[in-house]
Structure 1
Amino acid sequence: MGGQRGGACIISRAVAEAIKLKAREIEAETTIEFLERLRALGEEVIALEPSMASVRNAVETILSRVKKAEAATPEECIKLVSEAADELIERSRNAVEKISEYGSGLIIDGDTILTHSCSHTVLKVLERAHEEGKKFRVIVTESRPLLEGRETASELLSKSIPVTLIVDAAICTVMRDVDKVMIGADAILADGSIVNKVGSLPIALAAYASNVPLIVVVESLKF
């Protein structure tokens, strides 16, 4: 499962930017040859993060844009890759902004919110609610083995948002004090289930057992 620092949406934007830059280095005499090498580059990137739907979708979106345009030269292909990457990055930023606006409306004064790992989108929701003057506190799991939760806690503290960092094993103990669980996701599957950082399942089960709402905040790039 995922466990990368910064969140999947940040990684997918970085992927789009990387493909944009690497496309300029592709040496090809024909558009067919260019597309073959671009596809190979995309597959290499996807293999690095196979559980992240946003990474695969970012790659496929860029490839599809170039194929459909039927560019006449490799130079035209490079331009199309650049345009597609820039548009994808902008759409992702706009999506997270809209999610933060909606998500902040789910938070009320006095809430205790538990989160897991380091989701850029979750952080944006919490920051937006804090900027709106809402008074709440956050419980963050360490999120072993990579301890992404420490990064989340540090980021929240830098925004003056009250936060408590707990070991993953304390989830059931603290759940009785939690009003909402809010997590991100690496992917949303066709049946509505999610793929996310290891440890998300026991959190979901503990929330269900305690009748605590579980909110998953994701952009459509992860479907």
Structure 2
Amino acid sequence: MTILHETAEKIKNMEIRGAGRIARAAALALKDEAKSIDTDSLDEFNAKMKAAYKLLYQTRPTAVSLPNALRIVMRYKASTVAEARSQIIANADAFVTGSENAVKRIGEIGARRIKDDFTIMTHCNSSAAAQIIQTAFKSKKNISVIATETRPRMQGYVTVDVMQKAGIPTTLILDSAVRYFMKKVDAVVVGADAITVNGNLINKVGTSQLALAAHEARVPFIVAAETYKFSPRTLLGELVEIEERDPSEVLSPEMQKKWPNLKIANPAFDITPHSYIDLICTEIGAIPPEMAYWVITEKLGWEIEEADENIM
């Protein structure tokens, strides 16, 4: 199995998880594919790269970081295979480096919003959200974390592991206990799989209930998101597809046979309205959700249709 197909399978099966990690893995998979294609025909090279793009694109339809990363890597104009290969490799390396630096910068910016003696609630597993918490802790702030299990894939266990290794006091709670514990929380910090043009957040299912409970309790709700998680396609009115995952993640096949008429819904993500978001921490600064349009049109800075022409 090639690195391309192995990466696609791992993304699809959630062995590689988290929007930022998915984006970086996909970029590196395209880089490896560009290096491994043995041809002197630019048309053949382009066709194989487009096939690689489409294979990766179809693995996780909701995490906009994935198609954004793929488009960035595939932005090349070349007259020879050597030129095309060189540009793709450079694009991939620049994206991965920029993504890693963005997470570090988000941690520095977001940590300023975390005060001494804060209890922070988080959901699922986000490298950017975790970076904010870890940066605040490393700056000698006395903080603690409440992490949800994040069923059914239990991504919260990954967050707990990160926090325990960092020495941060952490409590693991049931997803359904969010409202009960919100009265003990000073801030909610979550990651993002996508942010729409109007500032709505698409993130792991259950995020919206944290936002609703935080809004009711007047607890600040902070999103940690690299700018490549903003969705340019929503400028054109396109809706972000909410991924529906396999029912077996919720109920075993044996139990499904026991209740053959039972319907099982397993959405991977939900939508949090921008009105429940206090702040989005990006690598370019802490912004209100209303600035999403500016980020998409000015910071991302490329024409959507033009970008798609090269790869679709």
Band of TM-score, shorter chain: over 0.9
- The RMSD of aligned alpha carbons is 1.6
Alignment of 1:29-44 (within 5 A): 29-44=40-55
Give the residue type in structure 2 aligned to 1:44: L
User: CA shift at 1:6, angstroms?
Assistant: 4.7
Alignment of 1:129-208 (within 5 A): 129-208=136-215
Aligned to 1:216: 223
User: CA shift at 1:3, angstroms?
Assistant: 10
Q: Gaps (5+ residues) in structure 2?
A: 1-11, 231-312
Aligned to 1:52: 63
Counterpart selection for 1:12 from 10, 15, 23: 23
Deviations 1:82-126 (A, max 9, x none): 100000011111111111101110111111100000001111111
Whether 1:95 aligns to 2:111 is no
What is the number of residues matched between the two proteins?
Answer: 218
Which secondary structure state, in structure 2, belongs to the residue aligned with residue 196 of structure 1? strand
2: CA distance, partners of 1:171 / 1:124: 22
Which secondary structure state, in structure 2, belongs to the residue aligned with residue 113 of structure 1? strand
Which secondary structure state, in structure 2, belongs to the residue aligned with residue 138 of structure 1? strand
Aligned to 2:258: none
Counterpart contact for 1:3–1:146, Cα < 8 Å:
no
Which secondary structure state, in structure 2, belongs to the residue aligned with residue 157 of structure 1? helix
The 1:16–1:118 alpha-carbon spacing in structure 2 relative to 1, beyond 3 Å, is same
Aligned to 1:22: 33
The 1:173–1:12 alpha-carbon spacing in structure 2 relative to 1, beyond 3 Å, is same
Deviates more, 1:170-179 or 1:34-43: 34-43
The structure, 1 or 2, with the larger RCO (C-alpha pairs under 8 Å, 6+ apart) is: 1
Q: Gaps (5+ residues) in structure 1?
A: none
Which secondary structure state, in structure 2, belongs to the residue aligned with residue 48 of structure 1? coil
2: CA distance, partners of 1:11 / 1:129: 25
Percent identity between the two aligned chains:
36
Counterpart contact for 1:3–1:148, Cα < 8 Å:
no
The 1:153–1:141 alpha-carbon spacing in structure 2 relative to 1, beyond 3 Å, is same
Q: By percentage of residues, which structure has more helix?
A: 1
Whether 1:61 aligns to 2:72 is yes
* TM-score, with length taken from structure 1: 0.93
Aligned to 1:75: 82
